[in-house]
Amino acid sequence: MNINSNNKGGMDIRQLFLRHVAQTSPNPLGIEIARAEGIYLYDPSGKAYIDLIGGISVCNTGHRHPRIVQAIKDQADQYLHVLVYGELIQSPQVRYATLLAAHLPAALNSVYFTNSGAEATEGAMKLAKRVTGRTEIVAFDQSYHGSTQGALSIMGDEYWRNAYRPLLPGVRHVRYNDPGSLEWITDRTACVIAETVQAERGIYTPDKSWMKALRRRCDETGALLVLDEIQAGFGRTGKLWGFENYDVVPDILLLGKALGGGMPLGAFIADKERMWALTGDPVLGHITTFGGHPVCCAAGLASLEVLLEEKWMGEVTRKEALFRRLLVHPAIRDIRSCGLLMAVEFDSFETNKRVIDKCIERGVLTDWYLFAPQCMRIAPPLPITEEEIGKACEIILSCIGGS
């Protein structure tokens, strides 16, 4: 297809994609998407793909839920961007922050909206430094908190970190879910940043006792506990928030991905008293032009309302169990899961990639985890039905069988 008159070479859209859209992967999936609806993506020929990754834990309420699409249209009819963050009263921001606070513990009452998850991570690190007057940060091996330089500094994988040194000083990486690692949290630690589920490691959940000990150690030392729910939040684990699985409450909560209902939005959330640290000396302690964009907040608000009204969260555990029951094959070495956040482990990346490629050919979209390339990612939109799970698993098993 010659997509416009400047396209003198007559390149098709795939060639133009490879030439003009900056590439981060040497082998992008490169499927052209014509539309998306519910749990399905469609290419221009009308071929349907069951979306087993939901835009990487973004589309928890499905693609283009009608309430979200309507909220976007309604907000576009009112106003788009009006001014940098925090000056004007924009009702989608106010209403969304209010609804979030109503469904969070009392100490998480002040929402700073950002453009992305990484920017939420950055904001939280800055806030922790200001609140505590300390500079050291404790993070965990094989954690992922974003790709900007601050977030990269706390990423728990040397392969991705190393090429971009020098990074932030004062960061210590320790072992996740290891009681011994808590000793590294001291009265010099500004904050400890942990995922409630280590997703990119291939789905590792910590012990409840360890999470509680982590909370206690932070309280003893005065370090702030930052929990990253950017991937695990919004019902994916079967609870609205991942931290509810451990009976702990963070000092700062990081949200992103599903927060925007399919639009770009992140947030770091803390107590108002603490959040004041970004308001003075210097003023404007964290600045963003587009953070909390009104259309994104309107979409996110509609998405959370839908999630709270629907029964999907209550069905997560049953659907997780169904996946686990159906995905049985000698080539599957392990399945780790926390709700509909699942990793299906093979012997190698090569096996996994072969299965993934075949799945895509047969209309099931999946991929692998950043730090666990031998693990297939399963994180579908939460409304996926049992019948659709059955069909997806049948295709996966047939692709393993023939691989």
The binding site for ligand PLP (CB under 6 A) comprises 56, 116-118, 121, 144-146, 195, 199, 228, 230-231, 256, 266
DSSP SS3 for 108: coil
By beta-carbon proximity to ligand PLP, the closer residue of 256 and 262 is 256
Closest to ligand PLP by CB, 140 or 144: 144
Contact 290, 81 (CB under 8 A): yes
* 312 or 371: CB nearest ligand PLP: 371
Least gap, CB of 232 to ligand PLP (angstroms)? 7
We find the least distance from the C-beta atom of residue 382 to ligand PLP, in angstroms, to be 17
Output the residue with the shortest Cβ distance to ligand PLP: 117
Measured CA to CA, the distance from residue 368 to residue 375 in angstroms comes to 5
Select 153 or 221, whichever has its Cβ closest to ligand PLP: 153
Query: What are 378's two structure tokens?
Result: 């399963």
Q: Are the C-beta atoms of residues 214 and 139 closer than 8 Å to each other?
A: no
Contact call for residues 316 and 382 (beta carbons, < 8 A)? yes
Of 228 and 320, CB closest to ligand PLP: 228
Q: Which of 29, 65, 66 is nearest to 49 (CA)?
A: 29
Q: What are the strands, taking DSSP E only, across 256-396? A: 266-270, 334-337, 342-345, 364-365, 368-369, 372-378
Q: How far is the CB of 121 from ligand PLP (least distance, A)?
A: 6
Residue closer to ligand PLP (CB basis): 144 or 241: 144
Smallest distance, ligand PLP to C-beta of residue 263, A: 12
Sequence-ordered list of residues with C-beta below 8 angstroms from that of 76, at least 6 positions apart, any chain: 295
Q: Take residue 199 and report the two structure tokens written for it.
A: 């997703």
β-bridge mates for residue 37, sequence order: 40
User: Residue 324 Cβ, how far from ligand PLP at the closest point, in Å?
Assistant: 22
Q: How far is the CB of 113 from ligand PLP (least distance, A)?
A: 13
Catalogue the long-range contacts made by 97-102 (C-beta closer than 8 Å, 24 or more residues apart): 99/301, 99/304, 99/305, 100/255, 100/267, 100/269, 100/304, 101/269
Residue closer to ligand PLP (CB basis): 116 or 352: 116
Distance of CA 133 to the CA centre of its chain: 29
* Smallest separation, CB 115 to ligand PLP (Å): 8
